[in-house]
Structure 1
């Protein structure tokens, strides 16, 4: 899907709205545009100014059918961010948001069409630009995290991680050298790092062709190193913990992905896995990562479009 670059009408069916989202501009919004933003997870005006131009264009505006947007995009995004950040159930969303079933339909549509990945990818490109990097990274770091599964997690997609003594699921992520998400896979906790690492690296190769170097911990050593080199043309470098190390030790490169996990786990919805489907669990990770991404961009100042005159960035 393309960026939200369709010209806006001068007024909606119900008059000029104080919100500039497509639903309010075209008079289709069923909610109230003057909702008071009171939660820490809400998009600030600075964040919304950055996010709005990056939103995908709805199918109905590209002539592909479907109904016009029925709820304000900003309020829907705020509702999903609140659920992810605070860890509530869908039916427990506060009453000042749109109806929870509408918010869930919005989440489901963005999950099924990979729209949250598309939005995060654009946020990642802006963050890399501001850091003086190219849009596409040339190196990545991979790691996994096991979390307990709630009773809502079905037996078919859960397992027991004997090393961590956790019954639930395992999150496998690849990040760039800035700690920004590149690929996410959720499996049963019983799946080994090497087996999941193969799928993870295949997706990294398919989606980010410029990457040639990947760092990982000792759990990925063995046949996966040879597979990455021979089949995927990736140099998988194992960063091992020193034998004489005791307690917490900062390891080169690996600390980046570990920091990313620490940022993600701050979202209470990710404290354990509550999702029935693994693609929903993956979507929750992308949503959780988008919250600090928009905040970092807002702290850096004006929208990235005004920063296009920066000198040529260096490679990752």
Structure 2
């Protein structure tokens, strides 16, 4: 076990006790990617009362266990403090920046270009709790789900590039006209995008080509297919949705703001990538 020694605080230090807590290797990877505390900036300010590692551990705990903010265990900083970091870092795009740097590290380690040239997009409808207001929720008639829809783009390894959360009644073809420009804005090198049959539209294909210089390739089901078949490219993004929903906070949507739903998705992906980057390779058994 490690002990997280905070800066002077009445809470003292906390012992690693939850599966979601960062390991020393993970924290060494994450700490340089976080913004500098205000007290270290030119304007100065009061030192932060709670150590950043305790804040990150608390955010990962909420994401992994799906608890209410007010139910945060007492060995973490106060829930108001943790939620304050959550909202500030969400507004300033910190989680997206950390996610992108980790993805680049994984791609580089795999011998790939850090910036992808192809992507896969898909959507997932999830039920919404009563905390989700009517303006940002809807009914997906195809899936028969009242809630929200997550639209994501991943690289060919299934690593998240962008995420957009909308009401569940927004059609995939309409959402693609929002998702693809967002993808193009942050990944200019992406020139080929795969999607499933729900995105079938000649107008969308032509728009993507003429406006964004992206080849939009719809991977359709095999003719006569009646049982489950793994289709090229599409399975990658479907696996990513499986990774995302391993975090209980993402099984259902509880957030008042769609942006906060996207943040929890990013946190779950950040956790997955830090674990992958710091995982020790098993030694080959000798006979």
- Shorter-chain TM band: over 0.9
Q: Does 1:235 align with 2:215?
A: yes
Q: Does 1:173 align with 2:139?
A: no
Q: Distance in 2 between matches of 1:126 and 1:55?
A: 16
After superposition, give the CA deviation of every residue in 1:226-260 in whole Å (9 maximum; x if it has no partner).
11001000001000111222222111011110000
Query: 1:53, CA displacement in angstroms?
Result: 2.1
Q: Does 1:206 align with 2:185?
A: yes
Q: Does 1:102 align with 2:78?
A: no
Query: 1:109, CA displacement in angstroms?
Result: 1.1
After superposition, give the CA deviation of every residue in 1:98-132 in whole Å (9 maximum; x if it has no partner).
11111111111111111111111111111111111
Q: Does 1:84 align with 2:91?
A: no
Counterpart among 256, 259, 264 of residue 279 in structure 1: 259
- The aligned residue for residue 51 of structure 1 is 30
Query: 1:30, CA displacement in angstroms?
Result: 5.7
Structure 1 residues 193-202 or 292-301, which shifts more?
A: 292-301
Structure 1: which 5+ residue stretches go unaligned?
1-17, 302-316
Structure 2: which 5+ residue stretches go unaligned?
282-287
Q: Matched residue of 2:15: which SS? A: coil
- The aligned residue for residue 313 of structure 1 is none
TM-score by length of 1: 0.84
Change beyond 3 A, Cα 1:65–1:221: farther
Which portions of structure 1, spanning 4 or more consecutive aligned residues, are displaced by more than 6 angstroms? none
After superposition, give the CA deviation of every residue in 1:28-72 in whole Å (9 maximum; x if it has no partner).
x56423x11111111011211221222222344232555432211
* Cα RMSD (Å): 1.6
* Corresponding pairs, count: 278
Q: Does 1:72 align with 2:33?
A: no
Counterpart among 259, 265, 269 of residue 289 in structure 1: 269
Q: Matched residue of 2:146: which SS? A: strand
Q: Does 1:217 align with 2:196?
A: yes
- The aligned residue for residue 127 of structure 1 is 106
After superposition, give the CA deviation of every residue in 1:285-310 in whole Å (9 maximum; x if it has no partner).
10111111110001157xxxxxxxxx
- The aligned runs of 1:148-159 (5 Å cut-off) are 148-159=127-138
Q: Distance in 1 between matches of 2:10 and 2:45?
A: 17
TM-score by length of 2: 0.93
CA contact (8 A) 2:199 2:218 kept: yes
Q: Does 1:259 align with 2:236?
A: no
